[in-house]
Amino acid sequence: MSERRDLEFEGTASPAEVAETLCRIADGIRQRALSVSLGEEEITVYPDGDLALEIQATEKKSKAKIEIAIAWRRRPLTDTDGH
């Protein structure tokens, strides 16, 4: 699959909504199938093997930010039927 697909969301949410989103992401990683959708668009990724995790926290005078990046190499698709 050489086609790049991007889906990006940026907005505001309550602490409870952000926590719920992070829980859904964690569940998707555990299940090795994580779907992200925005309107009619949806991307499903399949995290597998060792994942690279990067966490960066920044605090300035009146603003704080945490950035989380998770990456992995896609494994080639295999024929599970033996055909």
- What is the structure's pLDDT at 27? 97
What is the per-residue pLDDT for 7? 86
Q: What is the pTM of this model?
A: 0.79
Q: Profile the chain (83 residues) by mean pLDDT over runs of 10 residues.
A: 80 96 96 92 93 97 96 76 51
Phi, psi of 65 (to 5 degrees): -150, 140
Quick one: pLDDT at residue 80? 56
Position 31 scores a pLDDT of 96
Instruction: Compute the distance between CA of residue 81 and CA of residue 23 in angstroms, rounded to an integer.
Output: 33
